[in-house]
């Protein structure tokens, strides 16, 4: 099957699909587009104008969770668990990862201190809720890397920039989440899902939001 992944260099949802493809060792072509100037051909295959879109033999599949499920259906090894109930629970945590991404968006978009602190507090709660759910490691459900791991690798990647500027979203007491985050960062499929210039691009992206986090990154504001 001919697989083309329509992508954006910063998109965390794209990274899920890249991680799944890399875990499966599948040949594919990644095509990065400019989301600020969407090509007409992209709008024709993406009903919501969002990345990622997978073109499978030219047929568009959209929504990252759906793309990952489809890749899991057609390519070995299985990343979803076999057990129906466990698989349903994994799907829930993948949705949860999307909600954490929205909260991260709230953090880097916050224009005043109150909104910033509300987003930071919510993020810490979101990570705390994971602590009793994460297994004994190294991955979400133990030894086997799953699609939940593919969804959280891109979530944790944001935190490297934030941590470097004293904005800590994962409290130190969350030892299992912290170990999981480290294991994901070391997984080749996760590490390689973005280009070498990703940190610089993310920094520029946050600075362009002009919010509280941008001011912290620029050294103009300090955390109280
Ligand atoms: N629910 C979608 C979310 C995808 C998404 O939000 N993509 C962003 C980039 S990370 C996008 O394409 N935004 C462009 C736009 O909304 O115009 C998925 O899981 O695939």
**What would the pLDDT profile of 121-132 be if each residue is shown by its tens digit?**
999 999 999 999
For residue 66, the CA-to-ligand 1 centroid distance in Å is 13
Burial of 37 (0-12, 13-18, 19+ CB in 10 A): exposed
Given 10, 11, 68, 190, which residue is catalytic?
Answer: 11
Tell whether the torsion through CA atoms of 163, 200, 127 and 77 is positive or negative: negative
Nearest CA to ligand 1 atom 8: 50
In this predicted structure, what is the pLDDT of residue 223?
A: 67
Residue percentage of the chain with pLDDT more than 90 = 98
Q: How many CA atoms lie within 13 A of 150 on its CB side?
A: 30
Q: Which residue has its alpha carbon closest to ligand 1 atom 11? A: 50
Q: pLDDT at residue 221 above 80?
A: no
Prediction pTM value: 0.97
Residues contacting 35, CB < 8 A, separation 6+: 8, 11, 51
Please provide the average confidence, as pLDDT, over all residues in the chain.
97
Q: Is 68 a catalytic residue?
A: no
What are the beta bridge partners of residue 8?
A: none
* Total Cβ atoms within 10 A of residue 199: 13
Residue nearest to ligand 1 atom 12, measured at CA: 50
pLDDT digits (tens, 9 = 90+) for 143-195: 999 999 999 999 999 999 999 999 999 999 999 999 999 999 999 999 999 99
Helical H segments across 165-224, by residue range: 175-186, 188-191, 198-209, 212-217
Domains and CATH numbers, the chain: 3-74 (3.40.30.10), 84-217 (1.20.1050.10)
Answer whether residue 224 shows pLDDT above 80: no
Q: How far is the CA of 63 from the centre of ligand 1 (A)?
A: 8
| Separation CA 176–CA 160 (nearest Å) | 17
State whether residue 62 is helix, strand or coil: strand
pLDDT grade for 117, boundaries at 50, 70 and 90:
very high
């Amino acid at each position: 099957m001919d697989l083309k992944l329509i992508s954006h260099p910063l998109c965390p949802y794209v990274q899920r699909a890249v991680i799944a493809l890399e875990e499966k060792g599948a040949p594919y072509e990644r095509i990065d587009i400019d989301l600020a100037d969407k090509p007409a051909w992209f709008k024709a295959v993406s009903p919501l104008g969002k990345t990622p879109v997978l073109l499978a033999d030219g047929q568009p599949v959209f929504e990252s969770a759906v793309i990952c499920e489809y890749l899991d259906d057609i390519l070995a090894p299985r990343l979803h668990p076999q057990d129906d109930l466990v698989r349903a629970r994994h799907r829930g945590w993948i949705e949860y990862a999307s909600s954490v991404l929205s909260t991260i968006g709230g953090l880097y978009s916050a224009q005043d201190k109150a909104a910033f602190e509300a987003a930071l507090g919510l993020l810490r709660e979101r990570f705390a809720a994971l602590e009793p759910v994460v297994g004994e490691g190294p991955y979400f459900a133990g030894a086997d890397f799953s699609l939940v791991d593919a969804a959280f690798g891109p979530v944790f990647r944001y935190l490297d920039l934030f941590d470097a500027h004293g904005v800590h979203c994962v409290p130190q007491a969350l030892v299992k989440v912290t170990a999981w985050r480290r294991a994901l960062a070391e997984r080749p499929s996760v590490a390689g899902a973005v280009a070498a210039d990703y940190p610089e691009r993310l920094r520029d992206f946050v600075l362009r939001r002009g919010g509280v986090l941008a001011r912290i990154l620029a050294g103009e504001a300090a955390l109280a």
